[in-house]
């Protein structure tokens, strides 16, 4: 049975709007995703989708793919505009649970991990998560000061790759200490005389890679704690590379699974 909601003042609509904010995430332990591409990826990956919200047009277009055991609501285009942060809403949303199991223990983590140090731009975050997915990484750690992975712009930018690899929030210093205690190297990214050319590093299966803030780079404190800091030689006149581009180059170079 599909419940129809026509008022933008409906209590459920107000709650769904709240799920696009940090306070809403903390209060309800849920968040909202938008667009059939992301919704279908979440369903295919058996993620904790608890509600489907869609216009009649979208329900008609995807009725065969929507599970019958998930609570479903039909909304008006006006409500879709209320829930979306885009100019042209896609008309289909899913409410997803934030699970406690999404917290990962760095003392037992294996594989390749991308660690984000105060990355702010949703587009950069999305590109890095998608590239980590493409490069065979185990997961991505959102360090303190990095934009939340549950905000609409970040969710949209990740384009479903968040359901293919592990994402977690953590203190990066704790991650560095825990990995290095098990002789797992942690590479930083830096532009200084002490950094090593990334091309000299031998690819391996288990390691951490830290990318820093778009304008400030990695924190100096983290730089002193890494195993090795790496740089990418620039052959032209540009001062530096976009952080997501640099991350892509380093991820594909360092991960042994691609060798």
Of 50, 81, 98, the residue that ends a domain is 98
Q: Are residues 134 and 27 in the same domain?
A: no
- Find the CATH number of the domain harbouring 125: 3.40.1280.10
- Both 197 and 114 in one domain: the answer is yes
Residues 188, 125 share a domain: yes
Residue 71 shares a structural domain with residue 112: no
Are residue 169 and residue 235 in the same domain, yes or no? Answer: yes
pLDDT at 85 (0 to 100): 87
| Alpha helix stretches (DSSP H) within 146-193 | 152-158, 172-181
As a whole number of angstroms, the distance between CA 74 and CA 60 comes to 10
Q: CA 124, CA 157: separation in Å to the nearest integer?
A: 8
Report the mean per-residue pLDDT for the chain: 95
Q: Which of residues 98, 113, 140 is at a domain's end?
A: 98
- The structural domain count of the chain equals 2
pLDDT of residue 101: 67
Long-range contacts of 53-62 (CB under 8 A, 24+ apart): 53/16, 53/83, 53/92, 53/93, 53/94, 53/95, 54/91, 54/92, 54/93, 55/80, 55/91, 55/92, 57/91, 58/90, 58/91, 58/92, 59/2, 61/36, 62/36, 62/92
**Residue ranges for the chain with pLDDT beneath 70:** 101, 257-259
* 89 lies in the same domain as 135: no
Domain boundary among 98, 121, 156: 98
137 and 246, same domain (yes or no): yes
Give the model's pLDDT for residue 183.
Answer: 97
Whether residue 134 sits in one domain with residue 84 = no
Inter-residue contact 190 to 230 (CB < 8 Å): yes
- Shared domain check, 210 and 173: yes
* Residue 250 structural domain: 102-258
Rounded Cα distance, 203 and 248, in Å: 14
Q: State how far the Cα of 104 lies from the Cα of 94, in Å rounded to an integer.
A: 24
CATH number of the domain residue 29 falls in: 3.30.1330.30
- Asked if 22 and 109 sit in the same domain, the reply is no
Q: What is the pLDDT of residue 8?
A: 96
Q: Has this prediction a pTM greater than 0.85? A: yes
The answer to whether the beta carbons of residues 106 and 178 sit under 8 Å apart is yes
Instruction: Say whether both 121 and 163 belong to one domain.
Output: yes
Question: Does 92 lie in the same domain as 42?
Answer: yes
């Amino acid at each position: 049975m599909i419940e129809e909601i026509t008022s933008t003042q409906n209590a459920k609509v107000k709650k769904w709007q709240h799920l696009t904010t940090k306070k809403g995430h903390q209060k309800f332990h849920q968040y909202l995703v938008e667009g059939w591409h992301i919704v279908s990826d979440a369903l295919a990956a058996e993620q904790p989708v608890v509600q489907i919200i869609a216009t009649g047009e979208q329900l008609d277009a995807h009725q065969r793919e929507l599970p019958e055991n998930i609570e479903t609501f039909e909304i008006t285009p006006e409500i879709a505009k209320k829930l979306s942060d885009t100019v042209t809403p896609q008309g289909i949303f899913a409410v997803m649970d934030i699970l406690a199991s999404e917290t990962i223990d760095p003392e037992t983590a294996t594989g390749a991990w991308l660690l984000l140090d105060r990355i702010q731009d949703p587009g950069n975050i999305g590109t890095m998560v998608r590239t980590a997915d493409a490069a065979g990484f185990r997961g991505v750690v959102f360090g303190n000061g990095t934009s939340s992975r549950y905000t609409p712009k970040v969710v949209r930018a990740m384009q479903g790759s968040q359901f293919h690899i592990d994402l977690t929030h953590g203190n990066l210093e704790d991650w560095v200490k825990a990995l290095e205690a098990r002789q797992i190297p942690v590479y930083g990214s830096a532009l200084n005389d002490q950094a090593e050319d990334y091309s000299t590093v031998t690819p391996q299966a288990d390691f951490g890679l830290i990318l820093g803030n778009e304008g400030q780079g990695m924190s100096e404190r983290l730089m002193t704690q890494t195993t090795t800091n790496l740089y990418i030689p620039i052959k032209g006149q540009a001062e530096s590379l976009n952080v997501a581009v640099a991350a892509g180059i380093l991820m594909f170079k360092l991960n042994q699974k691609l060798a």
